[in-house]
Structure 1
Amino acid sequence: MTLQLEPEVAFGMHPDYGVAAAVADARPFLDEVLRKHHFRYSEYLDVYLLADDTPHNTAVRTVARATREFQDAGLSVAADPRIMIPPPVPTPDGVAARATRPGQSVTALTGELHELRRAADVSEVLGEILDEHHGVVLDLEEFIDTAAAWCERLDTPHGHELGLHLRNIAHHVAFLGDRLVGAQLELAVMPDVPPENAPPLAEVPLPERQEWLRVTHTARARAAMASSPNRPANAPKPQDEPVPRIQATPTASSRTR
């Protein structure tokens, strides 16, 4: 037997007008909820639309909140997953735009950690935020660099000063990413799993923010020489190098995409 399910509300992407919502009938409740969440009815298209200048993240949150309200009322809702795909970042003429895709939720990845048993699995999840295409660390670095460029466009002493400060922060983010890669490599070669009587992760108190746990030289060396998807097993052994020094006044991001 095949069930034909028709949603009472459907959200989608209109090619010219952005995020749109269609309803199955003219019930006042449907209109009331959509207008409450800033959708406006278009008689010409017979759909509800968000303002075309609504930022992407705001539109995603709006659809999520309206969907939750409809579902709490017992209504069926369908949504086009393309709503989650952000628009491309503007680039200069002749420069190809970076492909866009739904971003990884750090909150969701944190939740995944609570269900994992092997250190290697934790390493794999950590790799999600370090991914060179859609990892949050590189995205954050690019965001800060773009904010710095915005400040510099003011062409004022304060704007240039703040732009320089933001680029320095972006450099620190890049350095943080390098340190996380080291932690990921170490986790990838650890055979350890929590004992059966270990308390749930949610019950383990988090360390104080100001607490600084030192990593031993042995652990650093093992992580540096470990094989991983990002470091082939036959790669030459790295020479001992001093910890990179954070530059006080970097002029650009230390990474490129």
Structure 2
Amino acid sequence: MRVLLLGGTTEARRLAGLVAGEFTVVTSLAGRTTDPLLPAGEVRIGGFGGVDGLAGYLRDERIDVVVDATHPFAATMSGHAFDACAALGVPLLILRRPGWTAGAGDEWHRVASLPEAAQTLPRLGRRVFLTTGRQGLALFAGLDGCWFLARSVEPPAGVMPRHLEVLLDRGPFTVEGERELITRHRIDVLVTKDSGGADAKLVAARELGVPVLMVNRPPAPPATTVSTADAAVSWLRARGR
């Protein structure tokens, strides 16, 4: 069985490792980082050219099933995968880790989008730990009353906030390290996306009493969805039989 795995997440890499040798798996990466963490098996890097390009790839490569294990905020790619699979009758599975739920001691303010986060932010704080990715920095560029610590894997480019310090780093991070970072920079608000998974910065923010501005996930396509790589393996094996 030939599987196209739309990857770029920890879950995608784990799934590729679990089924290596059992199925023919091609992991597709968007190519937004210059040194991505590569999974087991065959890898392709770059876009497909929209729905039609992806459908053409599925036909040309005789793909039997698609697993969408992209980032929960990769809404465009997920939409293209759903439309291309629907057009060709190719089975699609979505692998998404669960989102976060606020607990005792958390002060979370949920918003629907990054633009709404930029509008809401000045009411919550002035020294901002911004962990929403380098591509959204321009949305915060007009907030001259705020100072930003922005963390990303790749250096940002384009329009950026006037008062900005960039920290180039890649996780996983520890609670101790995040607590020290927030304290050292006198952070009074954390801005992040509801990506899910273990997250040390949320624990550190709770312990330090720092409010969190949380951007909600976009809705996922109406396809079969699982939350773990193990569940995705079971689904693939059922299809393979």
What is the TM-score when the length of structure 1 is the normalising length?
0.24
| Structure holding more strand per residue | 2
TM-score, structure 2 as length reference: 0.25
Asked which structure has the greater RCO (Cα within 8 Å, sep 6+), the reply is: 2
Between structure 1 and structure 2, the one with the greater Rg is 1
